[in-house]
Amino acid sequence: MRYRYTPTTDKERLKSQADSYYKFDMAAITEAIGGRTKLTVLDLGCANGELTVSRFESAAFTKVVGVDRSDEAVDEARKSNASDKFRFYTLDLDGDFLPRLRQLMSENGIEGFDIVFGAMTAHHLSDPLRTIAAIRSVIGEGGKLILRSSDDGGKLCHPCGELLAELLYRYSKIVSTIDRHFGRKMPKLLYDAGYGGVKMMYKVTDTCNKSTASKQNMYDIGFGYRLQEVDAAISTAASSSPELAAEREWISSALDTLRREFDKPDFWYCNTTYMAIAEVR
């Protein structure tokens, strides 16, 4: 997994994102649990634990394990959540994580998870098929896997549609460690990983009849972090070049233009978010 939680830059954005997708996540979770109770949960990429607690605080869930590769995020999650129901651990899902995960399950008296949940996590993995296939082995009988992801192909706007398409293309050429077209790939990936009964759900949001603050929030969720990721990618590049610097400046200018467009009453933006629910077979 290439993404790493950074409190100074990610905490506010992740909270806004979690609030925006609360009803969508809960609809999927309600669908997956099917009225069952006393369930165990594994949250993949739990960050600081706020989303984990908000989604699984009900009495239907008895044990909730959140894992994240960031020690800092896990420390924050542990300090912020005193309930014994929630346990948070450092775990890198891109590594050989199964032995450690099974150890954590044993320590918590969990034979198999009833629900495995991953919100905006899988598209950061270096080999999502390998990881998702491995996760299948720790899901109990009748258990479900829920993945929420994005897809830049689900972002549309007018005017400035050509600018948006060019921005997303240039961004993907620099920030190549994140699969920005993961949403459309989830059904095949899940079947290839050995799951069945895949169901897709969608959340479509647009700027029509939204307040200026709501539209700015939509911009922040979809684009506010992207220059930061471009800078991070450039800082780790093998070598710098005038061409790379020029690309960075073009992206920065395009983001500024797009942000201003969001404030205009006649500007329309639409985004689709993707949720997959899969069964273990």
The span from the CA of 17 to the CA of 24, in Å, is 11
pLDDT of residue 8: 56
d(C-alpha 143, C-alpha 135), whole Å: 11
Encode 161-199: b = buried (16+ Cβ within 10 Å), e = exposed: eeebeebbebbeebbeebbbbbbebbbebbeebebeebe
Distance CA 68, CA 4 (A): 9
Write down the mean pLDDT value for the chain. 94
Residue type (1 letter), 184: R
Domains recognised in the chain with CATH numbers:
7-280 (3.40.50.150)
Summarised one tens digit per residue, pLDDT across range 53-97 is 999 999 999 999 999 999 999 999 999 987 899 999 999 999 899
Encode pLDDT of 168-180 as tens digits: 999 999 999 899 9
Q: What whole-number distance in Å separates Cα of residue 132 and Cα of residue 194?
A: 9
- Vertex 142: Cα angle to 140 and 145 (nearest 5): 75
Q: In this model, does residue 1 exceed pLDDT 50?
A: no
